[in-house]
Structure 1
């Protein structure tokens, strides 16, 4: 008896795998500008707002926090109501945040605008990652490869875009570059509409507890640079302890809540989270400190910083593209380990022995490669291991942890730089991408993939 296996073709109006990957990459890509392009503009932000560089670092820290929380919250919203609603809500937040950033009269308002804008970017990020991981198995590898290449392209041009916008226009334009994601939204609405929700509860209480714990942790790290007195520090410490304890208890009571209990005990998920947390911390630290070092110590213009980071970032883009091809074997984890450890080594050398410009550029470029490769590899691995109903929440929580790691990197570097200088701060933070590199060797490869 002969068994005939048929493969169901995608619907007639469905874009090709290449077009789908390109659209989702264009949707996600500008989010990267909020990190790397904004880092180039930080010296100008500090000068214009008449604040210390460590305080201006909240332009990055607040963005990282809101991006992480937004990605996690809207990941849950996608699981309940579908990706289309998430994408539309995120578009509104992106636009409103951009307007606030363009008109903010002081740093506090500017940081608030960045927070709103990053929350919108979080929704966009969640939508893109959910749609990539939900692609049919037969098309997923192709979509993921194009998505990774598109994301790497944005990563490789982000510093130059930041330099051009700051030097030729205004630093405010640099801070709202993530709003370019809005241009890709109309081309992704049909894809989003094809991904309805599963009716999964959002669990706002769990989200509030997790967001409070993350926010208070970052505030405590930067307490010295914010000139917080003993009273507020005690209050923040108590709030961190209570929110963390409340979150742990809530996970026990609500296994299907905002932070699902199966994720909290899943070894692969925790491995991926640790990799991203450390890798993003290294990149955010580099993008906080190195533009300042190059402009203040070496007298470089902002445009020169962006231009000289571009060649190394292209190398990072290539590494990310290769990571997509290696996701089904051990080679992906090894490549990720190599980029993270190299970045950590360069940042350590800059701080300990004043390694110079070339070492700074290599360290930052490898941080960008780690950033892009982490997204590609972890998306592939979790799409393989999680059923469709859990992917949106899992990718949201995972990226929350990634971007909280980024916030820890920029916040810690800003605080330590006031005592150790920017180079000394980089040496201390280099331990985090080093940890990410070692952990990357434990990341299992993606298998053939689960059908959506």
Structure 2
């Protein structure tokens, strides 16, 4: 067995790490569809579920602030799940992490379907989101291991698949809630389980078998959980004493996390990732894009429904062109250099910010709002291609799961922050004026992408403090044909 990491588009193997082919080679398009089907349904947990909240409140006799916990719990556990299972994929391999995450996702879905009360429903959403985040993290780690020679084509197809999932989320949520049940809408992320068996065929790289830093995981979980609840405290209707208590928990948890990273460089949050500029830059861009998307998905449907009288189904249909825009741009960006991809992402984000600003003026009827939402969806798809593609080419194989998991955790925290800031600004400015605040998020992402484009194509050296082999851009792409674990 060689020490060279196995690219994802490889022959089907008889067992993880054996290198024995038992089937045909998996092509770039098939790889993109499999991994997109694994990650894509995770977006339904927030965007589609938001449509069902009025039905949830009516069925369970809950107040709007109480029902908001359905989304808050999901965002919280989704981010934590991506980080935990990303590290598990590094340690035990994707063949162990993916079934575990799928089982947790399915168990949470069953609890949600049978929940007799809001408390049980929120508990089910926590389980479901943790599993959904875990499945997404494993998918991102597998995507990061794609053969460098085929990475561009895989990323282009993957971005197209993600654009479709993101753009149909609102429509699907409305259709399922109207024609089936709000309970089914809340468990739509379980669709990832359908793709899991097909993605297991791509998981041929064994784990490092290094023990997982439980203390570091606990500190990260506590810090992220309290932060997300703090930023959404206004939406959740939390009082001052509760918020102060959360702050009192956040400060020591954050301090413990910083201390743990300093003391244990190879712990749950590897110091090499924290110190890597490419990781910090990618996180900053992703936070801006995700915050803009989550905020737009919060406020744009309210404007289209409240101001222009559109139904949920009409709104969903109007956002479908966002899939086409995202698909075309993702295919283009996936075939460009890292620098060119960032420029495409920046241009799309600036266009989204401009459309959001026009929406806030009230001019142009409903169409600026539709354009803004569609461009935010396209920027989301491009982020999957450009940022994940860039990092997957630079991260050492032993850090890919942790890197992708922590990156997605940062993205989802940014999304929660965007929703919270927009909800607060809607109270002060009014819902119709809130898009001017939302516009700041994609604009931030664009500025970071443009400011760092010069270093995008520069090969990154192996992160300091790790014995992992260098990323696969440091060596020539392996020849086509059978590859070995």
1:169 is matched with 180
1:310 is matched with 320
Q: 1:98 aligns with which of 106, 109, 130?
A: 109
Rounded to whole Å, the distance in 2 between the matches of 1:329 and 1:376 is 10
Q: Is 2:346 the partner of 1:359?
A: no
Deviates more, 1:314-323 or 1:44-53: 44-53
Tell me: CA distance 1:190–1:237, structure 2 relative to 1, closer, same or farther (3 Å).
Answer: same
1:221 is matched with 231
Tell me: CA distance 1:58–1:316, structure 2 relative to 1, closer, same or farther (3 Å).
Answer: farther
Q: Which has the higher helix share?
A: 1
Q: 1:145 aligns with which of 114, 133, 156?
A: 156
Q: How does 1:114-133 map to 2 (within 5 A)?
A: 114-133=125-144
Rounded to whole Å, the distance in 2 between the matches of 1:234 and 1:106 is 28
CA positional deviation for 1:48: 4.4
Tell me: CA distance 1:329–1:260, structure 2 relative to 1, closer, same or farther (3 Å).
Answer: closer
Q: 1:89 aligns with which of 80, 91, 100?
A: 100
Tell me: CA distance 1:362–1:170, structure 2 relative to 1, closer, same or farther (3 Å).
Answer: same
4+ long deviations beyond 6 Å: none
Give the match's secondary structure for 1:257: coil
1:251 is matched with 261
CA positional deviation for 1:83: 0.3
After superposition, give the CA deviation of every residue in 1:69-102 in whole Å (9 maximum; x if it has no partner): 1111101001111101111111111111112222
Q: What TM-score comes out, normalization by structure 2 length?
A: 0.85
After superposition, give the CA deviation of every residue in 1:167-208 in whole Å (9 maximum; x if it has no partner): 22222222211111111112122222x121012332122122
1:65 is matched with 76
Q: How does 1:432-451 map to 2 (within 5 A)?
A: 432-441=441-450, 442-443=452-453, 444-445=456-457, 449-450=473-474
Rounded to whole Å, the distance in 2 between the matches of 1:284 and 1:58 is 16
Q: Is 2:147 the partner of 1:136?
A: yes
Tell me: CA distance 1:415–1:62, structure 2 relative to 1, closer, same or farther (3 Å).
Answer: farther
Give the match's secondary structure for 1:256: coil
Query: Are the counterparts in 2 of residues 61 and 410 from structure 1 also a CA contact under 8 Å?
Result: no
Deviates more, 1:345-354 or 1:367-376: 345-354
Q: Is 2:295 the partner of 1:263?
A: no
Q: What TM-score comes out, normalization by structure 1 length?
A: 0.90
Query: Are the counterparts in 1 of residues 69 and 236 from structure 2 also a CA contact under 8 Å?
Result: no
Q: How does 1:294-333 map to 2 (within 5 A)?
A: 294-326=304-336, 328-333=337-342
CA positional deviation for 1:309: 1.2
Give the match's secondary structure for 2:176: helix
Rounded to whole Å, the distance in 1 between the matches of 2:65 and 2:359 is 19
Aligned residues: 444
Ranges in structure 1 where 5+ consecutive residues have no aligned partner: 1-6
Rounded to whole Å, the distance in 2 between the matches of 1:329 and 1:359 is 30
Q: 2:384 aligns with which of 366, 375, 383?
A: 375
Rounded to whole Å, the distance in 1 between the matches of 2:424 and 2:58 is 18
After superposition, give the CA deviation of every residue in 1:82-126 in whole Å (9 maximum; x if it has no partner): 101111111111111112222333443333322211111111111
Rounded to whole Å, the distance in 2 between the matches of 1:332 and 1:154 is 21
Q: CA RMSD in A?
A: 2.5
Tell me: CA distance 1:425–1:239, structure 2 relative to 1, closer, same or farther (3 Å).
Answer: farther
1:292 is matched with 302
Query: Are the counterparts in 1 of residues 232 and 417 from structure 2 also a CA contact under 8 Å?
Result: no
CA positional deviation for 1:338: 1.6
Tell me: CA distance 1:108–1:279, structure 2 relative to 1, closer, same or farther (3 Å).
Answer: farther
1:408 is matched with 417
Rounded to whole Å, the distance in 1 between the matches of 2:286 and 2:59 is 33
Query: Are the counterparts in 1 of residues 68 and 235 from structure 2 also a CA contact under 8 Å?
Result: no
Rounded to whole Å, the distance in 2 between the matches of 1:350 and 1:406 is 20
1:384 is matched with 393
Query: Are the counterparts in 2 of residues 94 and 116 from structure 1 also a CA contact under 8 Å?
Result: yes
Query: Are the counterparts in 1 of residues 87 and 402 from structure 2 also a CA contact under 8 Å?
Result: yes
CA positional deviation for 1:389: 0.5
Q: 1:77 aligns with which of 84, 88, 91?
A: 88
Ranges in structure 2 where 5+ consecutive residues have no aligned partner: 1-6, 12-20, 460-471, 478-484
Q: Is 2:362 the partner of 1:338?
A: no
Rounded to whole Å, the distance in 1 between the matches of 2:445 and 2:211 is 32
